[in-house]
């Protein structure tokens, strides 16, 4: 697809920010093992990238999904941890957009604007690929629900001011006994557990979030009682296209770094870019990247058109993340021994790319979703 003028302008503005602020500065934070708050402050306060799915009527930019995904690629090209932090806000927001009332949306966006970060609390030690295996409970008590349970691997868990949480409201009904809630961070009983020490995506905050007898008013229930699983599945259908865009961002960065290196690295008396063996690696990377980019843009177009997109979003996620992994590894190969060293960004791209094949549903789960759609269709 061809992007419209407005999207191209936005993309160029974000690309400039990525080239000037993220690419030169993010590695310093990664090295010090520090959250990149100053970069994120510019992204949120000056660039308006805090919650790109925020509708205009609630103070947001009201971007199309195609524009949103295009910007996701750009930011991930700079740093996946920063991209995951910013877009973790959207992942947490989708259940509110899907099922929230106007009052709930106002509460959500007011809090998000003030506190900057939100988190989506689905995963638990026994509920990973089996999202329906959630054990956190929400029990009615007068005008409230009381929430008990521990969520793990939560992106933005330790920095969020507000959460969307999936909990069991009818233990006899399996996935049809789960409900989604809004929970503010400052409610009594909410605390942060272990912070994860991850292989990659180091600039993203990932923690346990513990709910210990947390009392929330009944008006914090999102949508209908016991209908939370569908809300969460629809959230993931939507967000997975974004993971595809992240993958394209990482792959694109790998291609740019490998091509620049190949042009200046001299062996056998000439730049290695002159050798067909190297050229073919770069060309194959470009082929994969363009296909993966079109896959996420197509999913975005379908979402914008109000057409079904579950399968296309899963395809975009799978293709984008597999492309990131392949291009990061192949790009590193072009740099040879230097690619293996921390002085060059390729080893970081390899570490970052891996999570994309795992989070928001492993690529094995995606293939199950795609196959399910095919079996229904034909």
The secondary structure of residue 198, as a DSSP letter, is -
Backbone dihedral region of 182: left (phi > 0), alpha (psi from -120 to 50 degrees) or beta?
A: beta
Written as one string, the DSSP assignment of 265-321 is -EETTEEGGGSHHHHHHHHHHHHHHHHHHHHHHHHHHHHHHT---HHHHHHHHHHHH
Among 291, 239, 233, 234, CA closest to 69: 239
Regarding beta strands 221-222 and 206-217, do their DSSP bridges make them parallel or antiparallel, or are they unpaired?
unpaired
The secondary structure of residue 127, as a DSSP letter, is B
Which residues sit at the interface with ligand COS, rule CB under 6 A?
120, 122-123, 129-132, 175, 229-230, 233-234, 236-237, 310, 359-361, 365, 369
Strand partners, 181: 165, 221
**Which of 308, 336 has the CB closer to ligand COS?**
308
**Which of 47, 358 has the CB closer to ligand COS?**
358
Q: Least distance in Å: CB of 39 to ligand COS?
A: 23
**Which of 184, 234 has the CB closer to ligand COS?**
234
Q: Least distance in Å: CB of 285 to ligand COS?
A: 27
C-alpha of 141 from chain center: 35
**Which of 68, 120 has the CB closer to ligand COS?**
120
Take residue 135 and report the two structure tokens written for it.
Answer: 């054990």
Euclidean distance between CA atoms 107 and 105, whole angstroms: 5
Contact of 157 with 165, CB cutoff 8 Å: no
Q: Least distance in Å: CB of 131 to ligand COS?
A: 4
Taking CB positions, which residue lies at the least distance from ligand COS? 361
* Cβ neighbours around 266 below 10 Å, total: 11
Q: Least distance in Å: CB of 212 to ligand COS?
A: 22
Q: Least distance in Å: CB of 319 to ligand COS?
A: 17
**Which of 244, 345 has the CB closer to ligand COS?**
244
**Which of 241, 262 has the CB closer to ligand COS?**
241
Residue 187 has phi, psi (to 5 degrees) of: -75, 145
- Cα–Cα distances in Å, from 196 out to 116, 185, 201, 214, 325? 21, 19, 11, 23, 22
Q: Least distance in Å: CB of 287 to ligand COS?
A: 28
**Active site amino acids:** 360
**Which of 123, 205 has the CB closer to ligand COS?**
123
Among 96, 128, 125, CA closest to 209: 125
Secondary structure class of 115 (helix, strand, coil): helix
């Amino acid at each position: 697809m061809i992007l419209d003028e407005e999207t191209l302008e936005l993309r160029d503005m974000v690309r400039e920010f990525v080239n000037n602020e993220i690419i030169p500065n993010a590695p310093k934070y990664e090295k010090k093992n520090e959250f990149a708050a100053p970069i994120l402050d510019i992204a949120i306060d000056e660039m308006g990238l805090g919650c790109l799915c925020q509708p205009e009527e609630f103070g947001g930019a009201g971007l199309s999904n195609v524009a949103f995904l295009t910007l996701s690629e750009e930011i991930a090209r700079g740093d996946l941890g920063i991209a995951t932090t910013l877009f973790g806000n959207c992942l947490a927001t989708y259940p509110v957009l899907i099922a929230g009332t106007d009052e709930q949306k106002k509460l959500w966006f007011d809090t998000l604007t003030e506190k900057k970060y939100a988190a989506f609390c689905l995963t638990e030690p026994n509920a990973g690929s089996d999202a329906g295996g959630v054990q956190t409970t929400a029990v009615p008590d007068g005008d409230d629900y009381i929430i008990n349970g521990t969520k793990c691997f939560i992106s933005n868990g330790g920095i969020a001011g507000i959460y969307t949480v999936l909990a069991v409201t009818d233990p006899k009904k399996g996935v049809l006994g789960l409900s989604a809630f809004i929970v503010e961070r400052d409610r009594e009983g909410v605390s942060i557990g272990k912070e994860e020490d991850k292989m990659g995506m180091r600039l993203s905050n990932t923690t346990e979030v513990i709910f210990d007898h947390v009392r929330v008013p009944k008006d914090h229930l999102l949508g209908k009682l016991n209908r939370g699983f569908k809300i969460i599945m629809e959230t993931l259908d939507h967000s997975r296209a974004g993971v595809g865009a992240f993958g394209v961002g990482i792959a694109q960065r790998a291609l740019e770094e490998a091509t620049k290196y190949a042009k200046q690295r001299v062996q056998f008396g000439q730049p290695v870019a002159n050798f067909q063996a190297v050229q073919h690696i770069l060309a194959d990377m470009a082929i994969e990247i363009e296909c993966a980019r079109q896959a996420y843009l197509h999913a975005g177009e379908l979402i914008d058109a109000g057409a079904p997109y579950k399968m296309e979003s899963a395809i975009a996620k799978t293709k984008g993340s597999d492309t990131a992994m392949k291009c990061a590894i192949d790009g590193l190969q072009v740099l040879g021994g230097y690619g293996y060293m921390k002085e060059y960004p390729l080893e970081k791209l390899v570490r970052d790319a891996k999570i994309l094949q795992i989070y928001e549903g492993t690529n094995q789960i995606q293939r199950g979703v795609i196959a399910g759609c095919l079996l229904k269709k034909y």
